[in-house]
Amino acid sequence: MILGVRRWPIFTTLIVVAAAGIMVMLGFWQLQRLEQKRVMLADYAAAEAMSSEAVYPSNDPAAIEAALYRRASFDCRSTSGGWQSIAGRNRMDQTGYVHIILCGIDDRRTAYVQAGWTPGPTPPAWTGGPVSGVIVPYIGGGGARLIADPPLGGLEASAIPDPGDLPNNHLAYAVQWFIFALTALVIYVLALGRKQRGG
């Protein structure tokens, strides 16, 4: 028997349709994020190819984003806060430790510098000086850090993150949301039809 409009429970139907609509909106939002991520990765690739150096950014998010994956140089006039020795890899993709220190660049600016890599957690005795390298994201340190290239204090070179390795799964997420929406509607129609036939 074909479902009659009068026999559809209005309140439940509205909830299911609203939920499916939200899922569809989330799917389209993921498609927007997909395009944004593609633009961002293209910008990073262009930044890597730039021959001119960037000015190491302040804590302004826009300045940090514009400087990511570009080279920069500055004089580390002072170090503070002690070394952070965390798990990391070298250029040969070997596991070990990378060593990060907070440098004072001038009276107002500071920069996190990743001096290099060692197989063990012991940091170097480096206390400052000229630094050159690549600016990369650093969520735990104000948004950016500079990976020294060449490395400092007698350390080995750290691996420099490849922006091409950043995940871009938004298309898969979008498809999932659309499937969830369709599945919810199909299950609801089937359950309602079974209930009406049983009645």
Determine the average pLDDT of the residues in 130-135: 92
The neighbour count for residue 77, using CB atoms within 10 Å, is 12
Q: Is residue 47 part of a domain?
A: no
In tens, the pLDDT along 111-128 reads 899 999 999 999 998 999
Residues 141 and 58 in one domain: yes
Considering the domain architecture, whether residues 175 and 116 belong to the same structural domain is answered as no
My answer on whether 62 and 116 are in the same domain is: yes
Q: Determine the structural domain holding residue 155 and report its residue range.
A: 53-165
Look at residue 166 and tell me whether its pLDDT is greater than 90. no
Query: pLDDT tens-digit profile of 8-42?
Result: 788 888 999 999 999 999 999 999 988 888 887 77
Q: Which residues in 158-195 are b (16+ Cβ under 10 Å) and which e?
A: beebebeeeeeebeebbeebbebbeeeeeebeeebeee
- Shared domain check, 91 and 160: yes
Same domain, 190 and 134: no
* 154, 178: one domain: no
Domain assignment of residue 48, yes or no: no
The first and second tokens of residue 46, run together, are 């262009």
Radius of gyration of the chain, Cα coordinates, nearest whole angstrom: 26
Assigned domain for 77 exists: yes
pLDDT in tens, 70-115: 898 999 998 888 899 999 999 988 999 999 999 998 877 888 999 9
Does residue 65 belong to any structural domain of this protein?
yes
Task: Report which residue type is found at 195.
Answer: K
Looking at the structure, do residues 17 and 33 belong to the same domain, yes or no?
yes
44 close to 22: Cβ distance less than 8 angstroms: no
Residues 22, 106, single domain; the answer is no
Helix (H), strand (E), coil (C) string for 30-42: HHHHHHHHHHHHH
Q: Cα–Cα distance between 171 and 181 in angstroms, integer?
A: 16
Instruction: Give me the sheet containing 129-138, strands edge to edge.
Output: 71-76, 129-138, 143-148, 110-118, 95-104, 78-89
Helices first, then strands: H and E counts in the chain: 3, 6
**Digit-coded pLDDT (tens) for 141-154:** 668 899 999 999 99
Domains contained in the chain, number:
2
* Whether the predicted pLDDT of 165 surpasses 90: no
